[in-house]
Structure 1
Amino acid sequence: MRRFPGTILSASALALTLALSGCGTGAATDAPAAGTSAAPSSTGSGSDAADGGSAAARDAFFADGVSHRISVAWEESDYADMVAAYEADGAKDWIQADITIDGTVVPNVGVRLKGNSTLRSLSGGGARMAGNANTSNTMEISSDVPESLPLLIDFDKYTDGQTYQGLTQLALRPGSPALNEALALALTAASGQATQRFAYSTYSVNGSPTQTRLLVENPDETYADSLFGTAGVLYKADAESSFRYQGDDLATYEEQFKQLNAEGSEDVQPVVDFLKWLSEASDEEFDAELADWVDIGSFARYTATMNLLVNGDDMAGPGRNYYLWYDLESKKISVISWDLNLAMTGDAAASPDDQLSIGGGGGAVPPGQNGDPGTPPGGSDPASDPAAASAANEYGGGMAGRMAGGGGRGGNELKERFLASEAFRPAYEAAYADLYDRMYGDGTATELLDEIASAVPSSDGVTAEDLAEQAATLRTFIDERTEALEDDV
């Protein structure tokens, strides 16, 4: 299987590549690999649960051939308060819990709700699906079913220095079993791009029936410092962030672009400088000078990947799902994908020229028309207008597709000007052709899907028959996407 130009990998080499790249698919087993946990009766705390926070321990957690068993115990009153806080004003308050992973008890961890559109039903929208009929996510999201909710688990929230298997945080993703998100992560890693590692687990809360859930490493300081092996700063874009210059006061941007590492030595100034330049650059200046600010090759791969995966909720989507990486040596910005739970769920026939969107933003931009269609001239910016944001956010089941025009909460000036520019068209087309071959053309997507599906543990909520049916749906999408793009690349 072709992974990189001129390299052919056998199936066994593929498994090794996935393990080393962090795209662990795991085997369909509840037993952890040697060294991944203590005996079932042990209690993890600090270094003995974490193996000193080492990279080897983190690798073991996400290693190929491993799935996990997780149960969480919290006070029902604390949970009720957490849900009530979110229902009241969208606050994501932390509560204390004990978590048992593969038999190891890690006490006194922090747990909070994680997500945006997925959680909207908790504030009055009623139970909803984590995805739609075309995804491999089948679980309804409801506060009456605590094990259905997406969570962020923070091991050292209440106990300084406590980690598990070298991990400080884990994201428990929405949906079950979320094959599309796992496959999208695996394909991104297999194409040589920065992404997040994942593993599957059976999961329960306070003795509830088990669900099959996807665990994804949550980018934190450790993740940021090891991302590329070079010095840089990682920023997480907030869901309510605005990719626009808003003056020189750094405080304006610090909540919008949360800095994850290098605090004390670096700040958000590089992002502000870039946004200021972007706001002032003419089309000619954009074409001539963008390479001074942005890693063009990396960004071409990012935009091509989002299209290939049919992900309309990327940096231009309503969820603002992306990270910015600022390389301290090259002084250039790259974009890293995040939250791919709506990838591979939309129009499999979308062309390389389509700008995919959810609910109205980020529509097709005519060639040569630079700018941000996410907010029409004279219109409200949903990032600063709660009423506009609320209306724009109501995009139902999250169907990604081709949306003409603007006016929604989505949109990102950098992405749209880049794709509209004839100067950068060759870079985009070259990246697209290469990535199509790596993801679809050589059968990688199908092979990875088979490996991932074989790794997913069954549970009370997901039977082997359920998994087979959902894998078949995703395999059909892969076949349709491969055929649709064959003549375009």
Structure 2
Amino acid sequence: MRIRHYWKLLAACVVFVVVCAVVFSTVRVTPLVTSSSDTSADQVTQNIVGTTDLFDATVAHRITLTFRDEDYQRLLDDFWQDDEKSFLEADLTIDGTRIPSVGIRLKGNSTLGGLTRNGEARQRGFGRDRAPGGGQQPQPGGGDGFPGGGFPEGAPEGAPGGAQPGGARGGAGPGGFGRASLKAEEPENLPWLIRFDEFVEGRRYQGHREVAVRVAGMGGGSTVLNEAVSLHVLATAGETAQRYAYSSFTVNGRPTTARLVVEHPDEGFADTLGGNGVLYKSLATGQFTDQGDDPTSYADDFKQITMKGSQDLQPVINLVRWVNTSSDADFAAHLGDHVDVPALARYLAVQNLLLNFDDMAGPGRNYYLWYDLGTKKFTVVGWDYNLTLSGAATQGPHDTGRMGGRFPQAGGAPPGGFQPPEGMHLPEGMQLPEGMQPPAGMPGPDGDAADGRERPGGLGGNKLKERFLASAAFKPVYENAYRDLYQKIYADGTALNAVGSITEVLSTVDGYDAQKTAADVEQLKTLVQQRTSHLATDSVITSG
């Protein structure tokens, strides 16, 4: 067959391809969901039963990981050079049950800010342009700051590293916002996400697709005891919480450490929420602002966890738009059409009670949204409690918790000389001292940076939370929830008793450090006792 016989057809094909490339190369492609069914596309083909319930928190567990060093170095290369948290293949043994070829990756954002490799910090992200060790500056309390380094001199009372009201102090203990240094050469101390089906499709372990191995030193000292206590009291109070357990953790035959293992909010966790719905994860880069109709514009805001292919992001887009554009009267009258209001009140009350500044409005945007397909309403689901019980014991029900303590309320100013770190987002209404300018690129309360550029994110803010707490219409439901949860968490001794019972289990885990744990326990007990006593006299509690 000679080409010259068909040269016209070939030429036409070439012209067509060129035209398509020119005309359609700038056209935005929007993902569409062609089905609105309520079924999940995930198929479970193997569920490993194991020998012991992984999240039986009353017993000590044992986890062992082995992987090739060259794979680990590749993982570190990806993170160092491209900010990518790639998976490596590892063999896992849990409580005697061997599970080959699981996927593991580094987990966290600010958590990894102090990670070093061969003594050098990563020159990007939270560690950018900082000295080895994440540029952590010495603090009066011996702790580390955020992000990637300590607060400068002149930080306000209640900021990390300094003395705090109510007896809590800075540093790596429960009373402060500290972070231990992390070394790539010590993988047994790093934060990990374990995924059972990364290399074996359809596999689960006791119904779980993923579990998280939490890192020590952020807000809970060497034990992350504050997170374990918080998860315990949440479950006891009947609130949604991930399950947890303490386990020995050994990597490639290195020294064994005692680590907190937490259920990761995946498809299996979604099944425990009741009803039929879709789970969405808020990302640390999220803004919760109206960005138009295109779902791809929200790629940095939310990630759909369940029912991919049968449901989409449209309900979240509708919620964000309504919260941002509705009048105050409309918000008060119709919030209940969009959100489970009593559940939202309880979620916000819990975050305040547990002194968790890093909630849905914190720098990590640590929350999920559960959309019930039956009621067509959203519920906020809490996640990542490793910075709870690390603020001021005197924080009141209507105070705004920030970075280890309280900032002044609207119109207030921090003490003179306080210089906020680059990238910090001022709480709404907070003013800098006269003559002091924010660092370049730092967004103020309106979200605009000092150089005039809009910077998404910053260190906090969520329009849904802010509008709810500012509305007089929802003040009674919030205060009622606060009183009820105070009784269930503090007044009846649940939190204080949890410190003791959890510590007893922890003391039986291989790799347990008795001396460090004793210090963490003492700080946490003191904070819980002081918070219990202080809130007992608060008008919100006594008015009930």
Do both proteins adopt the same fold according to a TM-score greater than 0.5, normalized to the shorter chain?
yes
Contact in 1 for aligned 2:393/2:531 (Cα 8 Å): yes
Does 2:424 match 1:379?
Answer: no
| CA deviation after TM superposition for structure 1 residue 202, in Å | 0.7
Range 424-433 or range 153-162, more displaced = 153-162
The answer for unaligned runs of 5 or more in structure 2 is 1-44, 116-121, 135-142, 146-170, 217-221, 412-426, 430-442
Does 2:254 match 1:208?
Answer: yes
Q: Give the Cα separation in 1 of the matches to 2:290 and 2:250.
A: 44
Tell me the residue number matched to 1:222: 268
Higher Cα radius of gyration: 2
Tell me the residue number matched to 2:401: 356
Q: Give the Cα separation in 1 of the matches to 2:214 and 2:144.
A: 10
Q: Residue 519 of structure 2 aligns to which amino acid in structure 1?
A: E
Q: Give the Cα separation in 2 of the matches to 1:425 and 1:487.
A: 19
Contact in 2 for aligned 1:318/1:358 (Cα 8 Å): no
Tell me the residue number matched to 2:529: 479
Structure 1 residues 106-144: Cα deviation after superposition (integer angstroms, max 9, x where no partner): 111101011110101232444477993332888532212
Contact in 2 for aligned 1:310/1:347 (Cα 8 Å): yes
Give the TM-score, by structure 1 length. 0.78
Q: Residue 200 of structure 2 aligns to which amino acid in structure 1?
A: T
Contact in 2 for aligned 1:139/1:148 (Cα 8 Å): no
Give the TM-score, by structure 2 length. 0.71
Q: Are the structure 2 counterparts of residues 64 and 180 from structure 1 closer, same or farther at C-alpha, using a change threshold of 3 Å? A: closer
Match of 2:467 among 411, 417, 420: 417
| CA deviation after TM superposition for structure 1 residue 414, in Å | 0.7
| CA deviation after TM superposition for structure 1 residue 100, in Å | 1.6
Match runs of 1:15-30 below 5 Å? none
Does 2:211 match 1:170?
Answer: yes
Structure 1 residues 58-90: Cα deviation after superposition (integer angstroms, max 9, x where no partner): 992212432211111111121122122212232
Q: Are the structure 2 counterparts of residues 80 and 461 from structure 1 closer, same or farther at C-alpha, using a change threshold of 3 Å? A: same
| CA deviation after TM superposition for structure 1 residue 241, in Å | 1.3
Match runs of 1:38-77 below 5 Å? 47=46, 50-51=48-49, 60-77=53-70
Q: Percent identity?
A: 43
Post-superposition, which runs of at least 4 consecutive aligned residues in structure 1 deviate over 6 A?
128-131, 359-363, 371-374
| CA deviation after TM superposition for structure 1 residue 358, in Å | 2.8
Range 258-267 or range 195-204, more displaced = 258-267
Q: Give the Cα separation in 1 of the matches to 2:444 and 2:144.
A: 27
Does 2:357 match 1:312?
Answer: yes
Match runs of 1:152-191 below 5 Å? 152-175=193-216, 176-191=222-237
Q: Residue 435 of structure 1 aligns to which amino acid in structure 2?
A: L
Number of residues of Structure 1 aligned to a counterpart in Structure 2:
414
Match of 1:266 among 294, 300, 311: 311
Q: Give the Cα separation in 2 of the matches to 1:89 and 1:163.
A: 30
Match of 1:466 among 516, 523, 537: 516
Range 466-475 or range 433-442, more displaced = 466-475
| CA deviation after TM superposition for structure 1 residue 329, in Å | 1.4
The answer for unaligned runs of 5 or more in structure 1 is 1-45, 52-56, 393-407
Q: Residue 409 of structure 1 aligns to which amino acid in structure 2?
A: L
Contact in 2 for aligned 1:361/1:411 (Cα 8 Å): no
Does 2:215 match 1:146?
Answer: no
Contact in 1 for aligned 2:285/2:300 (Cα 8 Å): no
Contact in 2 for aligned 1:118/1:130 (Cα 8 Å): no
Q: Give the Cα separation in 1 of the matches to 2:304 and 2:232.
A: 26
Q: Secondary structure at the match of 2:89?
A: strand
Tell me the residue number matched to 1:95: 88
Contact in 2 for aligned 1:152/1:171 (Cα 8 Å): yes
Q: Are the structure 2 counterparts of residues 138 and 461 from structure 1 closer, same or farther at C-alpha, using a change threshold of 3 Å? A: farther
Q: Give the Cα separation in 2 of the matches to 1:380 and 1:59.
A: 52
